Structure 1
Amino acid sequence: MTAQGVGRRVDGGPDRTQTETHVLVHPPDRPTRLPAGHANAVGLTLGLVGDEWNLLILRYALMGVRRYGEWRKAMPISHAVLTRRLASLTAMAILEKVGDEAQGRRFEYRLTKRGRDLWPVLLTIWAWESAWVPEHVESLPRMIHRTCGKEFLPILACAACGEPVRPRDVTGGFGPSGTWERSVPAATTRRRSGSTSEGGAGMFPQTMALIGNRWSAAILGAAFQGLHRFRDFEQRLGAPPTIVAERLRSFCDLGVFEQTPSEERADWPGYHLTEKGRAFFPVVITTIDWGQRWFQAEEGPALVYTHRGCGRAFQAQLTCDACAAPLRGTDVVVERPA
């Protein structure tokens, strides 16, 4: 078991935020119990997934990398950054440090059960980047489904009825531990530099533009919750207006949002998800699904969804677009690009 402090408590709104330190115990094979009133599963998970170095480390871990030197060889990452990320992922019980240098054995970092359970998030990110983002430093991994032997793309479906799901097919919102304040990552997450020494645009350039910053992730999540007016983003999220304006402009430039005239006033435009933006829904929902399985607040879940088609509680499932069979982590082969 490992421990990590959580230092954000919300006592009734963005103007009454206290910082206290609570130690969380992260058993690798069981959910972490979150204290009442603190950052919920969504906030904690976005802080993890919204860091591109974490995603790259996990990408190679899923392809079999276990040793420090192998990550250094595969990634344009410094010693200090890799050391910090491996320590953080180990503290979160996503990786497990195994070995004993005193006995001549080199340490390995192996994925735990909760670490292996992140594969749907990585798969949906790869699929979205492949379909919508032309610029990549290197080719994205190939995904092979063992069951049918074909290269595939994951399709989001309802685990209860098996039907494919689009954003409009799911309804719901905040649950017992869900508030805007508790769902925003506690600290600004970081994405890789765009400099040549850091590998150019990165492996997930636009994914990081969407979730690699606390306010970007919050605005995107709010859009899927139905917010579309500037003042709603500002007031509900408690974000500075200059930041809201910059993020909305950036999302429009990426083609994820489109600006539309307001029915109330011409100078109050609305911001709506485009087809490209809606296509990011599988990333959002698999991230939330993983977070709520592994981080459970005392009060209950942060978000509760229902599948309109079957009327049952929605839980994400990925299926193979080649054979339509449900995907399981053990059936997915991730191959390094040639």
Structure 2
Amino acid sequence: MARRAAYTELEPGGDNAIAVTLGALGDEWNLWILRYAIAGCRRYGDWMEHGSISNSVLSARLARLTELGLFDKVRYSDRPARYEYQLTGRGVSVWPILLSMWAWEARWAPMSDAPLPAMRHRECGSRFVPVLVCAACGEETVRHDVAARLGPSGDWSRSVPASIGRRRSANALKPSQLLPHTMELLGNRWSAAMLGAFMLGARRFGELSDRTGAPPAMVADRLRRFTELGVISTELAPNRPDWVTYHLTEKGEAFFPVVVLMIAWGQRWFRAPEGPAIEFTHRCGKRFDPLLVCSECRHRLRATEVLVEE
């Protein structure tokens, strides 16, 4: 596979790494294309064999992912001119995010129309789930073990992409619902922004609106949908029954690995000149860099060692 070592420097004052990442990975077709690319798809026909994607959608998504540096477009035939799309190092490094999404869906959306197959770790031979640990100390990590603060490019206005969450008709062609709940959280620009606000500690309606810049009607709509999905719960303040606070449920907290892996990936490959959008510190006192290990043998997971049992 072709590899690019260099990162992309973003425009000063423009979209930060979070916005770019959500724009790229908050799209159902992009995730679908990447999933099969990691499995070996390189040419148009390879993807066409796996689903009902149209030529125009596939062409547009491959062009965008190539522009973002996840693919290299390589000519393999001159007469006629034909091309294949080879994953770069940037594209290959998406796999931990896809793995964490896959595991979260398998655990929390078991009634999906497209049940996910099990995963087996080649090194130990066991079926497993990925476990998030701190790369510095090796400790298993949940959201409350990590302190987060906004960095120099972390303004909320720079973190919400304009390119996802546009309304589509009910008849619009979509990939099979492989990650339906994940797309509910990431496939709408306001959903993604509100999820980030929750992960950073927002609890009240006004906080969610102020931090994300979302219109009140949109905040109310997203809160309703998050509650239906079981991602958040509501609590009445004991001394102020008219005050409601919102809290991540166990299901919502369990999405933290997806969020932190996406942010880490984005800030590795897309860098704002002002500095990072978010800075993480683990309870061990070191900078938090996320890492996935096997739940059974606790060895680091690598893409070539994860087997999908179709």
TM-score (normalizing by structure 2): 0.93
- Residues in 1 aligned to 2:167 and 2:93: alpha-carbon distance in whole angstroms: 23
Q: Which of 132, 147, 161 does residue 156 from structure 1 map onto? A: 132
Q: Do structure 1's residue 114 and structure 2's residue 90 form an aligned pair?
A: yes
Say if 1:61 and 1:142 are closer, same or farther in 2 by CA, change over 3 A. Answer: farther
Q: Do structure 1's residue 265 and structure 2's residue 240 form an aligned pair?
A: yes
Q: How far apart are 1:237 and its partner, in Å?
A: 1.3
5+ unaligned residues in a row in structure 1: which ranges? 1-26
Q: How far apart are 1:79 and its partner, in Å?
A: 1.6
Q: Do structure 1's residue 132 and structure 2's residue 112 form an aligned pair?
A: no
Q: Which of 153, 163, 167 does residue 187 from structure 1 map onto? A: 163
Contact 2:26 2:183 in 1 (8 A): yes
Which AA in structure 2 matches 1:311?
A: G
SS class of match (1:74): coil
- Corresponding pairs, count: 308
Q: Which of 23, 37, 49 does residue 25 from structure 2 map onto? A: 49
The one-character-per-residue Cα deviations of 1:164-216 (angstroms, maximum 9, x if unpaired) are 0011100121011111111111333359876596466x111110000101000
The one-character-per-residue Cα deviations of 1:35-75 (angstroms, maximum 9, x if unpaired) are 22111101110111110110011111111111111211202
Contact 2:120 2:308 in 1 (8 A): yes
Which AA in structure 1 matches 2:297?
A: C
- Residues in 2 aligned to 1:300 and 1:236: alpha-carbon distance in whole angstroms: 20
Q: How far apart are 1:149 and its partner, in Å?
A: 2.2
SS class of match (1:266): strand
TM-score (normalizing by structure 1): 0.86
Say if 1:190 and 1:142 are closer, same or farther in 2 by CA, change over 3 A. Answer: farther
What residue is the counterpart of 1:327 in the other structure?
301
Question: What RMSD over aligned residues (CA atoms) do the two structures have, in Å?
Answer: 2.0
Q: Which of 272, 276, 286 does residue 312 from structure 1 map onto? A: 286
SS class of match (2:65): helix
Say if 1:245 and 1:311 are closer, same or farther in 2 by CA, change over 3 A. Answer: same
Q: Which of 223, 228, 231 does residue 256 from structure 1 map onto? A: 231
- Residues in 2 aligned to 1:141 and 1:58: alpha-carbon distance in whole angstroms: 18
What residue is the counterpart of 2:276 in the other structure?
301
Which AA in structure 1 matches 2:158?
A: R
5+ unaligned residues in a row in structure 2: which ranges? none
- Residues in 2 aligned to 1:156 and 1:191: alpha-carbon distance in whole angstroms: 34
Contact 1:63 1:334 in 2 (8 A): no
Contact 1:256 1:276 in 2 (8 A): yes
- Residues in 2 aligned to 1:187 and 1:249: alpha-carbon distance in whole angstroms: 23
